[in-house]
Structure formats: C-alpha cells, structure tokens
Amino acid sequence: MRKNVAAPSHLLILAVLLSVQVALAQELSIRVFPDREVYVVGRDTLTMYGSCENKGEDVSVDVHVALITPDGLILEAPDWNADFRPTFSNIFLPSGLHIPETEIGSHQVGDIRFPTVAPGDYLLAAALTSPGTLELMCEINFAPFTVEAPAVPQIGTILCDGLERRLMFYVPKGLPSTPVPLVFMLHGAGCDAEMAIRLTQGRFNELADRDKVIVIYPEGINARWNNCYQDAGRIMPDDVQFISTLIDEFSSAFSIDAERVYSAGHSNGGMMSLRLATELSDRIAAVASCAGPSPVDSECSDPVNPLGILYIAGTADDIVPFYGSSYVMSADDTVDFWRGFLDTDAEPSITDIPDTVPDDNSTVRIYRYNNGLEGSRVWFYRIEGGSHGWPAPPSEEPSISMGGNQDISACDEIWSFFGLHTLSGSAN
C-alpha cells in the first residue's frame, strides 16, 4: 500500500540536492522524460525514456526513478512504492559511459498499477545515489507532464431543412492548431446517437483522443436514415443535406481538414454512408458500412467521384441477408458495384484474421481490392458465421454490439482504412 510522504522528507531530498558538489554533477548525470507533455486518463500510455552519462571515474550507483504526484506524494518505480527502494540496485557505471535515450517502461495512464488517476501536474524524477544509501551522486532530474480527465460526448441540435436535428459529438482535449479529421458514425434503424456510442463501445472516442479527431453521432428522423432505397426520399428528410450542413457547422467552429472527412455506419446507417459515397463524394473521402448493403433499385444518382469503400458483412446475418433479397443487394454484389465504379484490381489480396475468440462462432477474411481511381480501394470484410452485429473485441463495458465477431475491432479497422484516403486521392 502506498503511503503519503511528509513534506519534510520531500524538502530533505531537495536540501541534499543543494549540497551536492558541482564537480560531481558535471561528471555524472541522469535524465528521465515522458514521451509527451499531456496524457488523458484511461486513454493514453505514458512511455518513459532515460539517459545517463559518466565523465568521471568508475562508480557504482543505485538508480531511482520516481513519480511525484500533484499532492507531493513520491512514488518509486517499478512498484511505485513510497519507501525509496531503488529501481535498479548497485549498477556499475564505467568511466566514459554514455547511454543514449532508451525506453525504460510504458504504463497505461490511470491503470491501478500506475498512480496517475487524478488529473493534474506530475513530475518524473531520476536520481543516482551511492549503493544502499540516499546519498546523491548527481543532480536530480525532473521532467513535468500533465494528466487530463477524458472529454465527454456532448449533445447538440441544429436546424436543417426546417427540422430541428439532434446529434452527439466528441471533441478530444488538446486539439492541435493544425486541421483535424472529422468522422461521422451513423446509427442503425430504431437506434439513436447514444446507442451508436454503445454499439462501438466508445472506441471511436478513444481513437479520437489518441489521434485528435472529432467524431459526430447524428440522429435520423424517427430513428431512420433516408438511404437510397425506393420511396425513402418521399417519406424522409434530406439527410445528405443534414450531413453536409454538419460539415459546414463544425468547420466553422473547429479547424477541420476538408481533405479528411469520413462516414461510417451500421445497418441503416451503413446504407446511408453508402448514399453519402454516391451523393456527397465531393466532401467525403471514404466511407464504411457494416451490415448495410446497396439497394437493388436505387433512387439515388450514380456515384461521381472516387473514394474509399470498406464493407463488412456476416454470412449469418438474420436481419439484412448476406446473400441479398428483392430489396437489397448481396454483400458480393455491393462490393462488385463499387469495385466496378472505382476500377480497382480485379483480383483481391486476401488475408485471414486469426480466430482469437472461437466462442464468437465466426471468422474474418479480408478481400482488399486496391489500385482504384485516384488510389481508391474497396475492402471487403467477410465474416463467416457472423451476425448482424458490430465487430468488437470482448469488453466489460456496456455494449449493444449484438453478438458480432470479436476477432477484430471494426472501429480500428475502419479508422486505419480512412487514414489511407483523402479527398484528393490516396494518402499513401
């Protein structure tokens, strides 16, 4: 159990530091530093690096690496205790030694084994002492970093085409001054924005924290999207205009990279993403659809501009038939339609994903059709035995993934695919 270190002990260390001879400090040195300045609790991994140099005589030392919390608690690696046990004991440093920047450990920020749960300003510290003592051999090196609480999804409304439209959106902390990507995640029929977040286990938000992306979860009217199916446009609002208006609004409020706007969706939301690929390809660089095929009879216009298409479908889908119906194309026909439009390679490269979770009764094979117009691609994730669910790894978080495949994370696969495409062509 960790214990608080009284303030006098902390000051004593600093007092000893002030008494160290300058000559020693010049001959022997140690540095420690984190790989970034700001971390988000539960999202980021802190990687520590260290370096050491001995310009003096041969010497043996104890190496101390510590974390100083915002309330002054001093915790030493590797067990992060408060008993001042050295990280490495009795290490021989020969004269002339120079150890360049070397990774000395990685820790999930907020993990119970790494005490950085509370937001605030922290210090990494490193010191060299005589073996078995707290007699300092050189100056203590301090490296500051900050821990922030994660952002939370926000709720908003916007007036579009005479209707008040609801949405949720996630803006990560620490956005750079440079433009950032924008990703839409569209819910399925009968669902809403909150359910889209639960469906994806919040993974798009985690990726947004990691890679500084803004994610929007719009809502369809009456929990449905106006996709390209017959009669949809006569009974539904103009959802293409809704998404286009959201791009405008968020581009006004944030620095959005117009080259990197993307849309993903599940079921009816996936069908809507394919409509965006058809009718908003001048603004969207790539789309992904899970269990949302193209219609047999489309009321939408023909596609115009090349863009990336990722399609995920389970062969045992009992809601949207994998092999098609009188209303929806089969998964293969949907892929062939886009492959033909984009003029990709006729033969795909094929990858079988390891079946790491046999209990999900499904396996994943990826068909990658590359070298399409302007570097576009069509990637097909065929899930043998897969259901209508959203693929996601096992998680204890509340989810409505509907029993999807657990060998892959659809969010990770989709985001990696999006990263290969920009509005003006391949991002390679």
SS (H, E, C) 129-145: ECCCCCCECCCCEEEEE
Per-residue pLDDT of the chain (428 residues; tens, 9 = 90+): 233 333 334 434 444 444 444 344 468 999 999 998 988 887 788 999 999 999 999 999 999 999 999 988 899 988 888 888 898 999 999 999 999 999 988 988 877 778 777 899 999 999 999 999 989 999 999 999 999 888 999 999 999 988 999 999 999 988 889 999 999 999 999 999 999 999 999 999 999 998 999 999 999 999 999 988 755 545 578 999 999 999 999 999 999 999 999 999 999 999 999 999 999 999 999 999 999 999 998 888 889 999 999 999 999 999 999 999 988 999 999 999 999 999 999 999 999 999 999 999 999 999 999 999 999 999 999 999 999 999 999 875 545 556 689 999 999 999 999 999 999 986 65
Dist CA 72 CA 118 (whole Å)? 13
| Side chain identity, residue 101 | E
- How much of the chain is helix, strand and coil, in % rounded to 5? 20, 35, 45
CATH of region 154-426: 3.40.50.1820
Fold of the domain built from segment(s) 7-147: Immunoglobulin-like (2.60.40)
Chain CA centroid to CA 319, Å: 29
274 and 294 in contact (C-beta within 8 Å)? yes
Residues facing residue 74 across a β-bridge: 68
Put simply, whether the predicted model's pTM sits higher than 0.95 gets the answer no
| Side chain identity, residue 144 | P
Residue 154 DSSP SS3: strand
318 and 387 in contact (C-beta within 8 Å)? yes
- For the chain, residues classed under CATH 2.60.40.2550 are 7-147
142 and 66 in contact (C-beta within 8 Å)? no
| Lookup: tokens for 221 | 């009217």
Q: Which of 299, 296, 298, 300 is nearest to 326 (CA)?
A: 296
242 and 161 in contact (C-beta within 8 Å)? yes
Contacts of 322 by beta carbon, 8 Å cutoff, 6+ apart? 313, 314, 315, 316, 330, 331
- For the chain, residues classed under CATH 3.40.50.1820 are 154-426
